Homo-oligomer: A and B are copies of this chain.
Amino acid sequence: MAILYNRILLTGAAGNLGKELRPFLRERCNKLRLSSRRPIDLEGDNEELAVLDLADFEKVLEATKDVDAIVHMGGTSKEDTWNNVLQGNIVGMYNLFEASRQNKVKRIIWGSSVHAIGYHKRTDVLEPDCVTKPDSLYGVSKVFGEGLAQYYFDKFKVESVSIRIGSSFPKVADWRMLSTWLSFDDLRHLVERSLIVPKVDHTIIFGCSNNDQSFWDNSKVGYMGYKPRDNAEDQRPYLEENVKKPPHDDTAITYQGGSFVVAGHFEDK
């Protein structure tokens, strides 16, 4: 396995996706720094720990010192109160990019989301440069993040890849995931491509597997060399047996964001 960068920082290392990426990244760098809000056990010789809240700039600045590339899976990963979205995904993103600029980090790969474009209809096949249509405050924070990433590349040459993650779970768990599923293997492959490609500037790419029923088209970012191998369709039999099909006039079916679209405002709950 080739070493791609000397030191990689993985944020959200204790989260679902962080856990999937951790052993994989460990093999592609000399030192993997893990950041998390709570302490976690180190597993390998080349791991090191940075306990921090992304909203704390000084801590982030320290954690990005001597880092060559960042895989950022931290922050809030679903709709939340405005304040949590603000601190985790807006202030946190700023802190990460600004600290990277100061510490001369070369490249940041981070998890944007389908929810940045969730109000597009599922019958509209999207390309990465489509107009954003967030379906939640969480989604708006991803629009902010993509804008910030573009800015830090244009002005400061901090390269980045915004992966609009669909649904990254061990298995296809509901009918919508036939379109949006991103297997963990394909996630790892996409992160590897994002690290390995010689130039990415700021690239937005859809993160889904090679699903028959996908409504995303990555051909305009073909230079990324992302070739997913899994296909949610293979798990249709599981759904047929175990998961109730939503009715055809369910609003969640009309839009790409699914249930986020029909959810009321978080604080209304």
Contact = CB atoms under 8 A, between A and B. Distances in A.
B125 A219 contact: yes
A130 to B, nearest CB: 9
Nearest to A213: B225
Contacts of A186: none
A98 interface: yes
B135 A246 contact: no
Contact of A201 (B123, B216, B246, B265): B123
Contact of A122 (B199, B214, B217): B199
Nearest to A159: B248
Q: Size class of A's contact patch? A: 35 or more
Given A122-B199, A199-B254, A265-B101, A212 B233 contact: no
A244 interface: no
A224 B213 contact: yes
A222 B119 CA distance: 18
Interface string A132-159: 1111110110011001101100111101
A197 B223 contact: no
Interface string A47-89: 0000000000000000000000000000000000010001000
Contact of A125 (B98, B121, B198, B220): B220
Interface of A: 2, 82, 86, 90-91, 94, 98, 101, 106, 116, 119, 121-123, 125, 129, 131-137, 139-140, 143-144, 147-148, 150-151, 154-157, 159, 175, 178-179, 197-201, 203, 211-217, 219-225, 227, 233, 240, 245-246, 248-249, 253-254, 261, 265
